[in-house]
A and B are shown apart, each in its own frame.
Chain A
Amino acid sequence: MTENHTDTGAQIELIDVVKRYPGQENAAVDDLSLTVPAGETVMFVGPSGCGKTTSLKMINRLIEPTSGQILIDGEDVTTKDATELRRSIGYVIQGGGLMPHMTVAENIGLVPGLLKWEKRRTRDRADELLDMVGLDPSTYRDRYPRELSGGQQQRVGVARGLAADPPVILMDEPFGAVDPITRQRLQDELMNIQAELHKTIVCVTHDIDEAIKLGDRILILKQGGRIAQYDTPEQILSAPSDDFAADFVGSGSKLKQLSLLRVRDLELVRPVTCRVGEDVDEVVARAEEAGEQSVIILDERDRPLEWVFLRTLRRHSTVTDPERELHTVVDHRSTLADALDSMLVSSHGGAMVTEGGRYIGVISYDTVTEHIRSAQNGES
């Protein structure tokens, strides 16, 4: 992270941690030592059954270690009451884990409720967090989980994990149950939130691309919770420590390096924009003067609505809200890999870029390929 910030996270330290389940010969986690710096996001990856979930749950004592020590902010977690401890650690699970008999606001307010916050403060906090995860509070706060899509449930799950502003957040495959496009959105949102809050996040994932994208560091585990490599995404991609790590990262690591570059690192272009309600003839005139075949429609809060060709625009006399789901929008913190993904479904050879939801320009396919070519030339 390059921005100036004060960390609100806390350092986590695992020292010689062992977990042996009763009746099993081999320890599920065998002598794991690890430091997660305050304010960083660490991604746990590794083959199924290697002990990722076990390691994660030992941090909030859902699983008690057989031996070893876990310190948060220098304090041994076993010295605290377990329920007390867990209230100070955010916990986000796959699918959101929302309580079906509670509304969205009640779900988000669970931990603040346990901490005996005032009703009003809890309610305001729920609204604030819904806003943060991109759900309109007035529409969603009183809904029940079954009235939400999978992606929306997962968003609420993330909001619930953040509710009491814990310094540490644990996530177990948080975006494992949603489709790729929604997953990318959720990842982008999490990156934005993290850029603002600087929590210490430990996140288990199956998806190495997700790990590269979200992680300040990546922990690759082997069977029995043994560390294969613990390093920054850049290092893991360019210098895997052994064959296991190299295999795990997989082939196409050149391509994967696209996941290390962010959209904001490249130059954006700025095609003609217009707003809902404007006169189409004027907009077309402006575009043609600029020598362009398409324009971008924004709403009153500068959010992109659609990228349309002039011939489509001409069907109406004023610019109308297309009310379609947009797939070709990426956040300025998105990786180039995500941006390329979005571009592939775009007929304009580019993707619209937003910062905090507001439109800031377009990243074009040509810019990206140009960048790759120059990077390769620079290397060879």
Chain B
Amino acid sequence: MGRLAAADREDRLLLIGLPILIGVVLIGWIIWRAVADLDDIEARLLTPASVLELTWQHLVIVAVCTVIVVGTAVPMGILLTRGPTRKLSPPIMGLANAGQAAPVIGVIVLLALLLGFGFWVAVLSLTIYAFLPVLANTITGLKGVDRSLVEAARGMGMSDMQVLFRIELPMAVPVILTGVRTALVLLAGAGAFAAFIDAGGLGELIQTGIVMFRYSVLVSGAILVALLALAVEWVGRLVEVYTKPKGLS
């Protein structure tokens, strides 16, 4: 637990506090589910098997989007901080900003109208939405690396690739991971909209709840999405604290 002790106050508070909060709310909901007087439809929608199935779908959407976002935004951030592509940084940042400012439901519906319904269209729209924080933090993190250290590294005879992978990226890791965590939480929340275009996930509870006037189902869906987002935040912070290169304060 040396790492935890060394983490800053905010991290420590959240790393310990979040699981407690999540646990309490989740247990509360399970108890409610067990003792509440539910009608047929509600009971069918809220069976443990169906809730677990939807949670799994939700997680798959979040995971796939995260992999795509990290796999595209980090390399793009690297390109935009070096060489001739550096000049493209402002327009692309502008575009990414716009992508995030657009309401996610709008993007999803628009793309669904253009490309049809389904899992991959949901993934595409969510990816667009979560792209910015990772890109922005990759650029910020890389730009934040002390130039004199980069020059020292070059002066010792490191190639550009060696400087990138052995000096710049390790030093930028904490900032990049903060961007990834932000993206994860955005995805976990916005993932609820995937259900509107038949891509599954916990959003289905919310949607069905609305359509069938079953508010207990609607609220259950909302609570579970929120818990998932918090859990993702917790995992993200844990990863951040444990992957931070030693020696960086």
Mark interface residues in A44-59 (1 if CB within 8 Å of B CB, else 0): 0000000000000100
Instruction: Tell whether B151 is near chain A: CB-to-CB under 8 Å.
Output: yes
- Whether A86 and B155, one on each chain, are in contact in the complex, defined by CB atoms closer than 8 angstroms, is yes
CB of B246 within 8 A of CB of A83, answer: no
Segment of B127-135, B156-164, B177-185 in the binding face = B156-164
In contact, B162 and A114 (Cβ under 8 angstroms): yes
Residues of chain B within 8 A (CB-CB) of A140 are none
Q: In the bound complex, how far is the Cα of B154 from the Cα of A170, in angstroms?
A: 13
From B155, B167, B170, give the contact of A62 (CB < 8 A). B155
Between A and B, how many residue pairs show CB distances below 8 Å? 61
Nearest Cβ on chain B to A147's Cβ, whole angstroms: 8
Q: Tell yes or no: B202 within 8 A of A by CB.
A: no
Interfacial chain A residues near B149, Cβ < 8 Å? 97, 99-100
Q: Shortest CB–CB separation between residue B46 and chain A, in angstroms?
A: 49
Q: How far is the CA of A369 from the CA of B247 in the complex (A)?
A: 49
Q: Once the chains bind, are B248 and A101 in contact (CB under 8 Å)?
A: yes
Chain B positions within 8 Å of A, measured between CB atoms, are 148-149, 151-159, 162, 167, 170-171, 245-249
Q: Chain A: how many interface residues by the 8 Å CB criterion?
A: 26
Contact A86 B247 (CB under 8 A): no
List the 6 shortest-distance A-B pairs measured between CB atoms, nearest first. A144-B247, A87-B157, A86-B157, A97-B152, A91-B155, A101-B245
Q: List 29 A-B residue pairs with CB atoms under 8 Å apart, sorted by A's residue number.
A: A60-B155, A62-B151, A62-B154, A83-B157, A83-B158, A83-B159, A85-B157, A87-B156, A87-B157, A88-B157, A91-B152, A93-B151, A93-B152, A93-B155, A99-B167, A99-B171, A100-B171, A100-B247, A100-B248, A101-B171, A101-B246, A101-B247, A101-B248, A103-B247, A114-B156, A114-B157, A145-B247, A160-B156, A170-B155
A62 to B158, CA, bound (A): 12
Kindly report which residue of chain B lies nearest to residue A86, judged by CB atoms: B157
With a CB–CB cut-off of 8 A, which chain A residues contact B171?
99-101
Complex-state Cα separation, A62 to B147, whole angstroms: 13
Indicate whether A102 reaches chain B with its CB closer than 8 angstroms: yes
CA distance A93 to B248 in the complex (A): 20
Q: Once the chains are docked, how many angstroms separate the CA of A97 from the CA of B154?
A: 12
B12 to chain A, nearest CB (A): 20
Question: How distant is A17 from chain B, measured CB to nearest CB, in Å?
Answer: 18
Most chain B Cβ neighbours within 10 Å, of A91, A99, A110, A114: A99
Q: Nearest chain A CB to B205's CB is how many angstroms away?
A: 45
- Residues from chain A with a CB closer than 8 A to the CB of B249 are 100, 146
Name the interface residues of A166-212: CB closer than 8 Å to any CB of B: 170
B147 to chain A, nearest CB (A): 11
How far apart are A172's CB and chain B's nearest CB, in angstroms? Answer: 9
- For A379, the chain B residues whose CB sits under 8 A away are none
How many whole Å from B88's CB to the nearest CB in chain A?
21
**Which B residues are CB-close (under 8 A) to A83?**
157-159
Point out the residues of chain A lying under 8 angstroms from B248, CB to CB.
Answer: 100-101
Instruction: Determine the distance from Cα of A343 to Cα of B246 in the docked complex, in whole angstroms.
Output: 43
Shortest distance between the CB of B160 and any CB in chain A (Å): 9
